[in-house]
């Protein structure tokens, strides 16, 4: 069974936006043993969209369309699919009512143009969308004697992903021969891709029935293992074997054997040890706090901290003595140490992390000219002992700031281990 | 003139890799006034690739193919293009010799399969590749009476980009009528896409020579206007006219007329007024600070603040009296007000923003059962007057947190205006 994914939207034909839904859909199709043979990106243009749909139905067995289900004039997917298949569109009253209820619940009147989101293609099933106004639709029919499965899905990833998982995957699975896929995801922070590849390729290359992908980005390396077998037990045994062998080689460079993020791992370790954490951030300006609090229930171990961006806020919020800043500069080992110790005392946490550095693009006025862009100090204290690390991070402002938060989390993880 | 970009390579049909060359090629084509109408991604499969090329030549005037020019069995672009056009391939001796020289220069014997990189399509021009072994090729011919321009380009971005710029752009410019493109980008926060569309579509639809795209996401709406004209002055005049008319309708809902982000706009406004800002964040955990400090030179106006996540940290870092938290709860108007006022006094800023809310997925222990998920209080103080807003944000944890930061920035922007 071959699949084609069509992403609909003129914004994806600009230099600024890319289709990313197809990556998620591809993973889901692969889980079911389906190969994606074509991806097409087409704009909000009636002729172009109809032609793309026509071609896809001829060359693929499964066609997934994303986007173009909104309320605007530009949203044409429903109409164009109906026209291409010579089917009618009719208003589904139940969908129409639930659309109206969404607006009432938000104390808004439904604009008249939203009504077309309730239009159903003749012979299609409605796929309810729990996270947005536009439902998906599903078609299963014979075309010149071949079975065709077509889904139209809303473009926003938060709507498309759950809708695909809950509504499309079961329908696809029922239509396809049984296949089982197992996956593992190993994650490592702050290590070069070439080093990971040199050490692990001789291992994973021995597992010819396991598909291995190395992904690098966001200050970490991920190793993905995928295996498809007639039974889940066979597939699981193979990915288990390869990930055990790789874990044995990479040791505690690996922070996660099951895909958890570094912030999740650190919060879990703190929870198990019944310890709490506070942070004091200068150049990262709240990013470390933002990462930690992105995880539900982080309030059990994360207490908060100081965004100690200006010199005065370092003193006012983390009790850094101003003479320390005058003597050593805001980006210094002494200030990093004082930030961590000060915020720990203030918040009453068991542990505290601090970050101070020069993120660029320019060196701030008043900074020692010998201190280069990318210089960052990270401190970790438990109230008795304080460690400080000096690191040099190449790259632009965003990279320096992201890597600084990653170094801080990794320093804490290794301390807890 | 319509263009299609075909990215060739099976790796781009996995969940892990994406075509990114097309973004660069699109920007280059747009510079010349050419619109990209379709993008296709196809694997290293002879039938699929021939079919994709065949379709592209029919529906587009300009076809750019990237990838599939390497030396392996899987590299099929040259052959498939020749076959689709019913043209022969012949060995180009000059290219062959320069390939051999590349290997000699690296003290290597040229593997026999590299020879096919010297195969030239009948009637094609060779496009020399200074950064790799595979040259590009260029075809310019009439097809059913219509001029077609086709380029095949190597896949690695560091080879493709300079080759496209130095070899393709001049050839395209010579073949195309003189064209200039002007762009505008209007941005609005916290407003539904359907409302923006209902109010602005009657305006922008009158500008038939301006291409309008509405993008929604990250708690904002962007309106992109693009116009292509023989002279830049004409193109600029048209995008100016449409954006003025739309700005007139949307008024101060628009925070940017030139694409700046909301945090940039707010920092600029503060700088002009010589005012400074501090923040106190509970449920957003540092995200507001992270957004503000992502902008270079934010330290001129942003002083820092408190990640007041736990009750104790609200008291320890922003001087919120504990009786207020006991009496009203951490998520309350009174605590929002006290957080903003406290952090302003601490840091000595002119203005301060605070956020406290329930981000979910569950309501924290000890929260008043009447307070729903998504309830957020935002306060803004200038030391004399403090405003507090109660808002209700639907959606998951990430959405509640992002929208809370957006509401805070937008409240500040409207105050400064």
For the segment A133-186, what is each residue's pLDDT rounded down to a tens digit? Answer: 899 999 999 998 899 999 999 999 999 999 999 999 999 999 988 777 888 999
Token pair 């280069």: residue: A372
State whether A381 and A330 are in the same domain. yes
State whether A168 and A202 are in the same domain. no
Could you tell me the strand order of the sheet in which A2-8 lies?
A125-127, A136-143, A146-153, A62-66, A2-8, A35-42, B35-42, B2-8, B62-66, B146-153, B136-143, B125-127
Give the Cα separation of B313 and B285 in Å (integer): 12
State whether B162 and B89 are in the same domain. yes
- CATH number, residue A158: 3.40.980.10
State whether A29 and A145 are in the same domain. yes
Lowest-pLDDT range of A82-86, A107-111, A326-330, B314-318: A107-111
- CATH number, residue B323: 3.90.950.20
Domain final position from A116, A145, A175 = A175
State whether A143 and A189 are in the same domain. no
* pLDDT of res. A72: 84
Contact criterion met (CB < 8 Å) for A308 and B310:
no
Contact criterion met (CB < 8 Å) for A310 and B296:
no
Give the Cα separation of A113 and B196 in Å (integer): 12
Contacts of A286 (CB under 8 A, 6+ apart): A307, B279, B281, B285, B286, B287, B288, B289, B290, B293, B305, B307
* pLDDT of res. A183: 86
| Residue B209 φ then ψ, to 5° | -90, 5
State whether A275 and A332 are in the same domain. yes
Chain B partners of A39 at a C-beta cutoff of 8 Å? Answer: 12-13, 40-41
Option in A12, A39, A55 nearest B41 (CB)? A39
- The answer for B 265-284 residues in CB contact with A (under 8 A) is 278-279, 281-284
Contact criterion met (CB < 8 Å) for A23 and B37:
no
State whether B54 and B103 are in the same domain. yes
Strongest mean pLDDT among A92-106, A336-350, B198-212 = A336-350
Residues composing chain B: 417
Option in A14, A73, A306 nearest B306 (CB)? A306
**Residue to test with chain A: of B40, B53, B54, B194, most A Cβ within 10 A:** B194
State whether B165 and B243 are in the same domain. no
Chain B partners of A13 at a C-beta cutoff of 8 Å? Answer: 26, 35-39
With pLDDT > 70 as the criterion, what percentage of chain A qualifies?
Answer: 100
Give B270-276 contacts, CB < 8 A, sequence gap 24+.
B270/B301, B270/B351, B270/B416, B271/B300, B271/B301, B273/B416, B275/B301, B275/B350, B275/B351, B275/B416, B276/B301, B276/B302, B276/B303, B276/B347, B276/B348, B276/B349, B276/B350, B276/B351
State whether B153 and B208 are in the same domain. no
Domain final position from A150, A175, A200 = A175
B11 contacts chain A (CB < 8 A): no
**Residue to test with chain A: of B228, B285, B297, B331, most A Cβ within 10 A:** B285
State whether B91 and B10 are in the same domain. yes
Count how many domains chain A has. Answer: 3
- The answer for B 355-394 residues in CB contact with A (under 8 A) is 360-362, 364, 394
3-state secondary structure of B25: helix
Q: In this predicted complex, what is the ipTM?
A: 0.80
* Chain centroid to CA B252: 24
Give the Cα separation of B67 and B12 in Å (integer): 11
**Residue to test with chain A: of B15, B30, B276, B303, most A Cβ within 10 A:** B15
A21 contacts chain B (CB < 8 A): no
Domain final position from B122, B143, B175 = B175
With pLDDT > 90 as the criterion, what percentage of chain A qualifies?
Answer: 77
- CATH number, residue A203: 3.30.70.2860
State whether B214 and B170 are in the same domain. no
Domain that holds residue B156: 2-175
Give the Cα separation of A17 and B265 in Å (integer): 22
- pTM for the model: 0.80
3-state secondary structure of B256: strand
Question: Smallest Cα–Cα separation from A352: which of A311, A319, A304?
Answer: A304
Residues in chain B with pLDDT < 50?
none
- The answer for A 302-321 residues in CB contact with B (under 8 A) is 302-310, 312-314, 316-317
Lowest-pLDDT range of A201-215, A299-313, A333-347: A201-215
A415 contacts chain B (CB < 8 A): no
- As given in the structure block, the two tokens for residue A238 are 């193979």
Q: Running DSSP on this structure, what letter comes out for residue B262?
A: H
Q: How many residue pairs from chains A and B have C-beta atoms closer than 8 A?
A: 265
State whether A188 and A165 are in the same domain. no
- As given in the structure block, the two tokens for residue B381 are 């103080």
CA distances from B224 to A335, B211, B256 (A): 45, 8, 12
Q: Running DSSP on this structure, what letter comes out for residue A395?
A: S
Contact criterion met (CB < 8 Å) for B290 and A284:
yes
């Amino acid at each position: 069974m071959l699949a084609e994914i069509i992403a609909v939207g003129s914004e994806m034909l600009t230099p600024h936006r890319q289709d990313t839904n197809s990556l998620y859909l591809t993973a889901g199709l692969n889980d079911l043993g389906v190969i994606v043979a074509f991806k097409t990106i087409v704009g909000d243009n009636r002729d172009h969209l109809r032609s793309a749909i026509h071609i896809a139905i001829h060359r693929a067995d499964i066609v997934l369309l994303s986007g173009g289900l909104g309320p605007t004039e530009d949203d044409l997917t429903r109409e164009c699919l109906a026209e291409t298949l010579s089917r009618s569109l009719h208003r589904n009253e139940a969908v129409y009512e639930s659309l109206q209820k969404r607006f009432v619940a938000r104390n808004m009147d439904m604009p008249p143009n939203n009504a077309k989101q309730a239009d159903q293609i003749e012979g299609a099933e409605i796929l309810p969308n729990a996270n947005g106004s536009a439902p998906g639709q599903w078609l299963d029919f014979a075309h010149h004697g071949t079975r065709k499965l077509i889904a139209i899905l809303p473009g926003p990833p938060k709507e498309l992903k759950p809708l695909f998982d809950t509504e499309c995957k079961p329908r696809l699975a029922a239509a396809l021969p049984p296949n089982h896929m197992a996956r593992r995801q190993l994650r490592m922070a702050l290590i070069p891709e070439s080093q990971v590849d040199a050490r692990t390729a001789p291992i994973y290359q021995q597992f010819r029935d396991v598909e291995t992908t190395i992904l690098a980005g966001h200050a970490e390396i991920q190793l993905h293992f995928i295996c498809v077998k007639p039974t889940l037990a066979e597939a699981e045994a193979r990915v288990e074997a390869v990930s055990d062998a790789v874990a044995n080689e990479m040791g505690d460079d690996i922070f996660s054997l099951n895909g958890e993020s570094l912030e999740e791992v650190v919060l879990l370790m703190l929870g198990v040890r019944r310890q709490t954490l506070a942070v004091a951030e200068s150049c990262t300006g709240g990013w470390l706090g933002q990462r930690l609090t992105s995880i539900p229930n982080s309030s059990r171990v994360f207490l908060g901290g100081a965004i100690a961006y200006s010199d005065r806020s370092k003193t006012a919020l983390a009790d850094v003595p101003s003479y320390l800043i005058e003597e050593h500069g805001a980006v210094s080992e002494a200030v990093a140490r004082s930030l961590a110790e000060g915020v720990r005392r203030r918040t009453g946490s068991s542990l505290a992390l601090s970050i101070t550095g020069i993120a660029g693009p320019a060196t701030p006025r008043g900074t020692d000219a010998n201190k280069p862009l990318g210089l960052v100090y990270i401190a970790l204290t438990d109230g008795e002992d304080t460690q400080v690390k000096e690191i040099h991070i190449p790259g632009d402002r965003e990279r320096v700031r992201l890597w600084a938060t990653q170094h801080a989390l990794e320093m804490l993880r290794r301390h807890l281990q």
